Structure 1
Amino acid sequence: MKQDPVPSTPGSGSGALAEEKLEHQPVSDLEEPIGPSLRERFATHFSEKVETKDGYLPLLLCCFATGLTDGTVYNAYGTFVSMQTGNTIFLALGTSGQNNRPYGWARSLCSIGCFAIGCATFARLHKLIGGARLRRTVLFSFILQTACVIIAAIIIQSGTVDGHYPSNRDPRDVNFTEMAVVALLSFQAAGQIVNSRGLGVSEVPTVVITSLVCDLVSDELLFAGLTKNGKRNRRFIGFVLTLLGAIVGGWISKATGQVGPCLWFVVALKAFISLYWVGTIPLQRLRKGA
């Protein structure tokens, strides 16, 4: 006698087929795609190119820092560390025996030489790191600049170099250790102008007033509306900030009787700019790896 087949419940066949498909389906298809790791997302973030407009604020702050350092260091050590036109004249006067500071020409020569070395070094480091516009490049550049100013401030703070203002030493005495401070500050100042060129903000060279004023007043759109000439605005602001920086540096030096406080102020500015280049990664981007 033929036995009747066992009746199946509705949907049991389709359920078996579904289970069989699941068994043979690759595990990777069942899971959500895994995005880049946190490390990879940070690497991507610091490999991004910085837009030119993002360089306006930090480079204008560098103008203020230039005024602070030059206004302070010139009064203390008789040389500039950023504006090399003045140092060239001091060097020429010293060569002709007309420099009224003993070996002042040597300080000026030191500043010019270290500034030139700084320009060459920063330019090649930018190329080595991957390009002048990369976020990691400008971040590294300003970290290096900050470190140079910190070392110079520590040298003065420790008493290795006389940091009093006005100086307690006899004007006829020559302390060549002062050149260590001049060298460090001149080297880091070069990084600013290299950054301005690399980011395409050449209208704010940060260490040169002569060309800045020339470009400002010779601009055909000098009297255009406030929102119609951004380069003119930045040149004017850069000039004013450099002037204010020198004034503030003179006030601080006179009030404290020390060179160090102004340099620590510059350290704070450079550290702030470094943090600015770090930027922020939105939480959504960190979660999704977008």
Structure 2
Amino acid sequence: MSGSDDAGTIASPRQAQSFWNYLNTEVDTKECTGPLAAFCFMTGFIDAISFSSVFVWCGFQTGNFVQLSLALARLFSVGPGGAIDQTFHKADQQALTSLLAFNLGAFIGRLGDRIGSQKRIWLVFGTFLQTLFTMAAALTIWKSGQSSVADDRGDPSWTNALSFVCLAFMSMSLGTQGIIGKRLNTQFTTTIVLTTVWVELMADPRLFYRKKVITRDHKLIAASSLFIGGFVSRAILDKIGSAGALGVGTGVRLLITVSWLFVPGKKAASVSKSAK
């Protein structure tokens, strides 16, 4: 009886050590299609929520950056009667919030360079961080009491301080997601900005091949996933509001977190080759 108990106590640390070693293995980036497609889905999902309320794309920082340049240009624009618009418009404040928070999230993602950008433990932890950011966004917009859909660009539905915090958390989640996607170095690129994906897709010399072409097919999967994410998000938003939609997004991110545990690892030969 005691022998079986001893065996049980001895096996437990070994199993824990084995699982820790498993977490510290690198994933095979060729097998990451599922989680990365889900990342693209979440880009569309998050962007649909922010655009519906404040007309800001949390993942499209090019547009936000240009918007800030236009805000600065207004200072040099003389209106009728010599009036100069010196106000910092609410839309410009929201664009700046999204831009700064996105870059903060991406900067936090640099932690993966210390841990190992393709190690399973970082992919799990980094995606779990995105889950926490999305959950925080859901809680803050719920507490804000703001409506979910704006009727006009000049009248955003999110205007109070808590809604700005929500926008920041949403942008941070995509910033961290983007650097994780970038470091995996696949056809999905950052999983955030699809302009480059569209250009590379149109420039692909094997665009019209009937057979399987990874460089083309994965880009199509990325674009389709983002489109579906936006569609699903808006449908949910109309039914249960932005807090509920972000709650659903939190659940999806948690599923992506778990999915990294099942992505096949790199084969020993490829790992030793990359180490050299």
Q: Equivalent residue for 1:131?
A: 116
Indicate if the aligned counterparts of 1:63 and 1:242 stay in contact, CA closer than 8 A. yes
Distance of 1:269 and 1:205 partners within structure 2: 18
Distance of 1:243 and 1:250 partners within structure 2: 11
Task: Tell whether 2:218 aligns with 1:218.
Answer: no
Report percent identity of matched pairs: 22
Q: Which amino acid is the alignment partner of residue 140 of structure 1? A: F
Q: Equivalent residue for 1:288?
A: none
Distance of 2:118 and 2:140 partners within structure 1: 33
1:234 aligned counterpart, secondary structure: helix
Instruction: Give unpaired runs (5+ residues) of structure 1.
Output: 1-33, 282-290
* 1:114-153 paired onto structure 2 within 5 Å: 114-123=101-110, 125-128=111-114, 130-153=115-138
Indicate if the aligned counterparts of 2:52 and 2:148 stay in contact, CA closer than 8 A. no
Give the number of equivalent residue pairs: 242
CA gap 1:118/1:164 in 2 versus in 1, 3 angstroms: closer
Deviation at 1:266, TM superposition (A): 1.3
Q: Equivalent residue for 1:266?
A: 249
Deviation at 1:242, TM superposition (A): 1.1
Q: Which amino acid is the alignment partner of residue 90 of structure 2? A: Y
Q: Equivalent residue for 2:80?
A: none
Deviation at 1:270, TM superposition (A): 0.6
Deviation at 1:166, TM superposition (A): 4.1
Q: Equivalent residue for 1:5?
A: none
Superimposed CA distance per residue, residues 183-212 of structure 1 (whole angstroms, 9 cap, x where no aligned partner)? 111111012221112222153421101111
Q: Equivalent residue for 2:273?
A: none
In the superposition, the TM-score normalised over structure 1's length comes to: 0.75
Deviation at 1:71, TM superposition (A): 1.1
Task: Tell whether 2:234 aligns with 1:250.
Answer: yes
Deviation at 1:61, TM superposition (A): 0.8
Q: Which amino acid is the alignment partner of residue 164 of structure 1? A: S
Distance of 1:107 and 1:280 partners within structure 2: 37
Query: Out of 154, 159, 166, which is 2:139 matched to?
Result: 154
Q: Equivalent residue for 1:58?
A: 35
Deviation at 1:96, TM superposition (A): 3.3
Q: Which amino acid is the alignment partner of residue 247 of structure 2? A: W
Q: Equivalent residue for 2:269?
A: none
Query: Out of 276, 284, 289, which is 2:259 matched to?
Result: 276
Indicate if the aligned counterparts of 1:59 and 1:204 stay in contact, CA closer than 8 A. no
In the superposition, the TM-score normalised over structure 2's length comes to: 0.79
Q: Equivalent residue for 1:105?
A: 92
1:132 aligned counterpart, secondary structure: coil
Deviation at 1:174, TM superposition (A): 4.1
* 1:171-182 paired onto structure 2 within 5 Å: 171=155, 174-182=159-167
CA gap 1:67/1:280 in 2 versus in 1, 3 angstroms: closer
Indicate if the aligned counterparts of 1:50 and 1:199 stay in contact, CA closer than 8 A. no
More helix by share: 2
Query: Out of 161, 177, 181, which is 1:192 matched to?
Result: 177
Instruction: Give unpaired runs (5+ residues) of structure 2.
Output: 1-9, 78-84, 265-276
Larger radius of gyration: 1
Distance of 1:56 and 1:88 partners within structure 2: 30
Indicate if the aligned counterparts of 2:98 and 2:171 stay in contact, CA closer than 8 A. yes
Q: Which amino acid is the alignment partner of residue 173 of structure 2? A: Q
